[in-house]
Chain A
Amino acid sequence: MDLLEFARGPALQVAIYIFIAGSLWRVLGVLWLQKKPDHSAARHSGGIGGALKVIWSRGFTAPAFKSRTMYPKTLGYALHIGLFITVFFFIPHIVFFKGLFGLNWPGLPNNVIYFVGVVTVAIGIAVLIRRMTHPVMKLISNFDDYFSWFVTLLPLATGLIMPIRFGIRYETLLAVHILSVALLLIWLPFGKLAHTYFVFISRGTTGSILVRRGAKT
């Protein structure tokens, strides 16, 4: 078994198992904690509707906060959009997902992906610099923040090396790329990258409580 076979065979499989088990563990470990009923008289119905409202609306910045958060918000959005495009619109990735889930969708030309990828790496670096220099970020950051950054940027970096090669064999680079994704999958449920799903749970919780009150969300 060579490195590529190991990467896309057992390594990826184990990573997916850990990802699934870890994610359920993390989410259910939260959802199955005690819940207290709310006896207050609702102003509006909160529930699922309220949850969905905030899940959607918190994706946008309130005008009151725009000027003070323009830079980090722009970085944040750009990073997420960049990751989204490179992950889901690079054709070999689409082929990968098709192999896993049987779904197919149109992709973008490689040069567009390379461009977006390089921009995304640059943004990732800007995000890191901000975390390491901004007084607030410096204070509140911990190992999870830095490691999650590393684990997120690694597949991007290993992916972008592939067209350049640096004299390294394609299959080796592909294997390293897949291994970096495996690392991401393994880490995701155990660090802050779990916000992939907690963003919905947290926003939904707030939505169902505050929409019920008619309070600002």
Chain B
Amino acid sequence: MSNIEPVSSPFHYTRGNVEPILHEIVHALDRLLEDDEPTVIDLASLPFGPGELDQLEERLGVGELTAELNALGRSIIRETVYPGVWWLEHRNTECDIVGRYIEITRAPEILMSQDADIGAGRAQLGDSLERPAPGDNNGADNEPRPN
């Protein structure tokens, strides 16, 4: 068993899904520029061979903007080196991946503050203004708190 050697990724034999997805992204960028139409590619719906997803991620690279979302687990929303092409990775509270997407859009919807949250936040901020001045309570109460 000692002479088992690691084998380099065999997938240079097949192009797999990396190239087709990159082509798809180019077309999606065209649609975004011409018709203002965003595209979402759900990577879970595509069959990937070992290492292919990493290859894809590597090819797209890391761009100017990376955002981290903390809601029901951590999420990464990252613009790739190609502006308008976003890499989204959602994890659950156990840190398991629950979804991977490539979004071709000016800004992913999930980055936008949602009306419901804005309303709730506004109400909270309003509440806090109606309350006695700070200093009467301990600092923890001053933190914005979701209802």
A and B touch in the complex (CB under 8 A): no
Interface residues of A (CB under 8 A from B): none
